[in-house]
Structure 1
Amino acid sequence: MRLNEVVFTDAKPVEGYGPGFFRIGGEVVHGPVLAGPQGTRTWAGFDDTAPLLALAGQVDVLFLGTGAEIAHLPDNLRETLEEAGVGV
């Protein structure tokens, strides 16, 4: 089996997650987080649409966690993102 080491240049890898936290680039971030081309920062949650809409045309895939329980995204958030061309 051949293994290739992944080298991250300007991106930070998501190394793990658990109840209420993410480990990104060796740092633990508690609560909602936005990890994108411009770096990693905390996020205010589903009502904070501006940073998600800013990703239009910059990302291929957008993963949105819904918390401890599996759930659909709120309809208004899904519709807002789809109208902006951000597929979820």
Structure 2
Amino acid sequence: MIDAYGDGGFRLSGEWHAGSLLIVADHAQPWPVTSLADLSVESLNPVFAAGRAEVEFLLLGVGLRNAQPLRSLREALLIAGIGLEFMDTPAAAKLYNVLTSEGRRLACALIAV
């Protein structure tokens, strides 16, 4: 569960994680993406490696303001059979908690704000 966000990081289950965060199969890891301009297909390799069996869709928090990711990324996810929901990071952090409590199979990529 994401307890808090802001100040350049996230608190998950009471533990502070500085910087952006990638969560795949309930495993949180640092993510080197600091802005939507840094986002690439390669930056999401752990999501693609998990595959459709583990990841129904990617929940992407793109920063303070909602913006559409690059077409190449959207197409790569489509080809892999992984859905995409993108929104500002605060909304994505809140939605992550709801969706995981429902048992949804998702990956979550959050650009720190």
Separation (CA, whole Å) in 2 of partners of 1:38 and 1:54: 14
Identify the structure with bigger relative contact order (alpha carbons < 8 Å, sequence gap 6+): 2
Separation (CA, whole Å) in 2 of partners of 1:70 and 1:19: 19
Give the TM-score taking structure 2 as reference length: 0.58
Partner residue, 1:87: 83
Give the TM-score taking structure 1 as reference length: 0.72
Partner residue, 2:47: 52
Separation (CA, whole Å) in 2 of partners of 1:72 and 1:19: 24
Does 1:27 find its partner at 2:15? yes
Question: 5+ unaligned residues in a row in structure 2: which ranges?
Answer: 34-38, 85-113
Residues 39-74 of structure 1 show CA distances to partners (whole Å, capped at 9, x for unaligned) of 110112322131121232202342111112210111
Percent identical: 33
Aligned 1:2-13 pairs, distance under 5 A: 13=1
Within the candidate set 64, 67, 74, 1:71 is matched to 67
Separation (CA, whole Å) in 1 of partners of 2:7 and 2:64: 7
Q: Which structure: larger Rg?
A: 1
Computed over aligned residues only, the root mean square deviation of the Cα atoms, in angstroms, reads 1.7
Runs of 4+ in 1 over 3 A off after TM superposition: none
Select the structure that is richer in helix. Answer: 2
Does 1:40 find its partner at 2:28? yes
Within the candidate set 10, 14, 33, 2:2 is matched to 14
Q: Is the 8 A contact 1:14 1:24 kept in 2?
A: yes
Select the structure that is richer in strand. Answer: 2
